[in-house]
Structure formats: structure tokens, C-alpha cells
A and B are shown apart, each in its own frame.
Chain A
Amino acid sequence: MLDKASDWLIRLGAAGLVIMTAVIGWQVFGRFVLQSSPSWSEQAALLLMIWYVLFAAAAGVREGFHIRIALLEDMSSPAMARRIRMVIHCLVALFGIILFVYGSQLVWLVRDHVIPSLGLSRGFAYIPLPVSGFLMAIFALFHARDEWRGNTTGEDV
């Protein structure tokens, strides 16, 4: 279930990357070939980038691909290492919750601001922050639970 959610985040992210490629390709085509630059392409590409980076970053918590320095864990006994990992997962969950709470506040505060050339609320650029923060917290808490139960494989229990 969680793995499925994580896979879908990556698929959405990949779609975002492909669409962004098309948008910038169209920007070059419009300016150089059609002699008419699209005015929306820059903002649209930036918006897409925030979305897919944060979605994939949430999946990264599930898949455990975020860069970290595991020196302490490597030097510790297996039991100690497990405790360290639990603390780390809980901290990641805490930061995820902060992203969720303050990301939601951010979306709300700028709801009246407009993204130029797209005409959308600025909140759209920030929506992935709370969504991603929420998912990060969930993924990290389940990892912490798995460590608690002694299941370090990351599989659903």
C-alpha cells in the first residue's frame, strides 16, 4: 500500500519531468522558429519543478534514497543502530509535519496572490509542500514502527 503510493509519486514526478521537457522545448521552438515566445512557459516549468521535486522527495523517504552520513550507525552495535535509525525516522517525521503545517499556512496566506502569465493563485506553486510533508511524515512513521518491531527490510508488515 505504502510502496504503491510511493511508486505513484515517482510516476507522477516522471510525468512532470517529461512535461517540463516539452514545455521548454516548446519555448525554444516558439521563439526561434515561430518568432513568438510563449509567455507562460517559464512560470509553468518552474511550477512543475517544485511539484515533481517534492513528490519524488516524499517517495525518497519511503525508498530511503536521501543522501545521509551513516558513520555513527556503522560504528554502533546492531541494537544501537536500530535505535539511531528510529530517532532519525522520528525526526524526519517531525520535519514532515512541520512542512505540512507551515506549508498549509503558506498556501493559505498567498491564496490571493497571482502567478503572473499563468493567472493561477500563487498557492498552486506551494501546494506540494504540505502534501509532500504529510506523506513524508507517514512514510517516516511507518519506517519507525518497522524498526520498533525489528523489521528493517522496509517491507509492509
Chain B
Amino acid sequence: MNTIEANSVVMKKLLIFTVVMFAFGFALVPFYEKICEVTGLNNLLQADTLAENPQVDTTRWVTVELDANIQGLPWQFKPLQSSLRVHPGELVEVMYEVKNNSDREINGQAIPSYSPQLLAKHLKKLECFCFSKQVLKPNETRQMPVQFVIESGLPTDVNTVTISYTFFELAGANAANLVTKTNQS
């Protein structure tokens, strides 16, 4: 094999490698989501199922703080209680209230976030307003429940956690994208 051929073989290999790495950049997105899902960091928009017979650990208390944020839409959004104490394994329901202050109909999507982050792995939400978009008519007020269980797998040194939601306006592409994402998962 002469040099020119040898060179073009190397070049082809490297070009293929380049393309693979470019694709890898994009593959990092689902990969990242997968990691978050496996570690439970990001299991956001779907209902969880509970183990058959969850054991309630009455020897432990976990303080759950509730938080609400809105970003860029004319709503008011707050939990009806700021915090509560629960036992791991216990099924609890909390209420959030949202109000549309504007005179137009608005689609909103709530995105949850947890602190400490590892809570995500141990929080099972059976019902949540974040599973679907919320459409609020002008000046409509709505109370929405969240039903969840904090699994007893939560490390014992964690006894205070925060569940936070941020409402974003769903408009155009955001809406379409999220709907497909939710459907896939």
C-alpha cells in the first residue's frame, strides 16, 4: 500500500470518528436524561407506581417543605401549607393553589425540582398537577393536589426536604415538545 492510500485510510477512519463524536455530543442529551432517570434525579412528568405494600416507618419523621415559583406568566402560585411532617412510606396529599391574574387563557406547565437532589430517587408521586399541562381561564383559581410517598429508602441522615414546582408558560414549540416528551416517557 503506498502512502497516499495509507493516508486516505487514516483520514477516513478519523472522519468517521469525528462524525461519531458529533453524534455523541447529541447522544449525551438522552444519556444525561437516562442517568438522571436511573438515579431518579429527573423522573419528572409521569406517575410512579408504588411497591405492593409500602411499609410505613413510624419511627422516623421527615419534614417536607413545599415551594412554588412562577416564571414569566401572570399567575399566582402557592402551596396551601408551607411544610408538613411525614413518615417515610406514608401516603400524603398536599394542595397547591394557582390563580390566573390575566384576562387571557393561559397554558402552564409545572416543572418539579427537589432538594436535596437525591430526594428524587425516593419520592414517588402518585398524582401531580405536573403530569399534564394546566389550562387556566381568565382569572380562574384552581386548587391542585399532589399525592406522594417518601420511600423509606431515603437515607436516615436526611430529615428535611423541599419539593418545589416552577410554572412556565407553554406556548407554541414548548408545548409541542413537552407533550411529545411526556408521551414518550
Is the pairing of A and B real? no
